[in-house]
Amino acid sequence: MLAYAEPVSRASLYVSLAIIYAWFGGMKFTEYEANGLVPLVENSPLLSWFYALFSVRGFSTFLGFLELSIGLLIALRLASPIFSAAGGLLSAGLFVTTVSFMVSTPGVVVPELGPPAITVAPGQFLLKDIGLFAASFWVFVDSLKTVVRR
């Protein structure tokens, strides 16, 4: 029974990340999501300059295409692990960026409680990205190991 656990858990991780990216990426094409990104992006030293290049909707659309592409690369593990290695690396980079929002976005820390108390949104919403970063980096390493062994 344990012999099946590793391949099933590996496949589950790849599929779940691909689903998350399909869902998150698809939402980026909505006005609701584009407006929800504004406080995160405009306060980010890493991303705020994008609003000088794109409108709010334009940046969200760009991000949607990026996220859908990352999800597709991760799902393409079935075709070749080089695709999922690239997707895992891009995904890890994206989640490092979103975790940085916890520092740059006002209102993450509950003022009356102080650190480490964080708000539900955006604080706890962003905190899950630490786990998604770890999963993404694992996909990168797992895929790269397969590429190197060939």
CA 87 to chain centre: 11
| pTM to 2 decimal places | 0.94
Per-residue pLDDT, 58: 98
Q: Among 83, 75, 81, 37, which Cα is nearest to 56's?
A: 37
pLDDT at 3: 84
Tens digit of pLDDT at every position of the chain (150 positions): 788 999 999 999 999 999 999 999 999 999 999 999 999 999 999 999 999 999 999 999 999 999 999 999 999 999 999 999 999 999 999 999 999 999 999 989 898 888 889 999 999 999 999 999 999 999 999 999 999 997
Look at the chain and report how many structural domains it folds into.
1
User: Of 3, 140, 26, 126, which Cα lies nearest the Cα of 73?
Assistant: 140
The pair of structure tokens assigned to 68 is 């859908």
Which pLDDT score is estimated for 43?
Answer: 97
The CA-to-CA distance between both ends of the chain, in Å, stands at 27
Boundaries of domain holding 61? 2-149
